[in-house]
Amino acid sequence: MPATEPADLHTLFAAAINAKDADGLLALYEPDGTALHLDGSSRTGEPALRAMVDDLLTTIDHIDGETRKVHVAGDIALMSASWRARVTTPDGPGEAAGTTAEVARRQPGGDWRWVIDDPLFV
């Protein structure tokens, strides 16, 4: 299901993580998009994003969140969300939380995808 509004990306992200849907999660990013991993490393391009998605799906057991802000200028959106997650790391189960910053772009078909995604924008 594509994001018809920028804020849909946050809802679809949580749904894909909770469903362990790697393809659905990857579809939220432009193929040449850039995302920062929870460890702070930058991932650009589909192969690197796929590796990040696979890692997120093994680390995050469940995630909830809500959109904080969306500013749209033409086909570009600046966005932010707050999130909380149950995670399993090599150290065992725990919790994580953060505030995001993202840039999304309207695609030629009208749907929105992330160009830049930072899950821990501080």
The sign of the torsion formed by the CA atoms of 97, 36, 58, 22 equals: positive
Burial 107-116 (b: 16+ CB within 10 A, else e): eeeebbbbbb
Question: Looking at residue 39, what is its pLDDT?
Answer: 86
Whole-number Å distance between alpha carbons of 34 and 102: 10
Domain boundaries, the chain: 8-118
- The C-alpha R_g of the chain, in whole angstroms, comes to 13
Taking the whole predicted model, whether its pTM rises above 0.85 is answered as: yes
Question: Please, are residues 13 and 28 in contact by the beta-carbon 8 Å criterion?
Answer: yes
Domain 8-118: state its class.
alpha beta
The sign of the torsion formed by the CA atoms of 58, 32, 111, 41 equals: positive
Compute the average pLDDT of residues 77-84. Answer: 98
Q: What is the pLDDT of residues 31-76, one digit of tens each?
A: 999 999 888 899 999 999 999 999 999 999 999 999 999 999 999 9
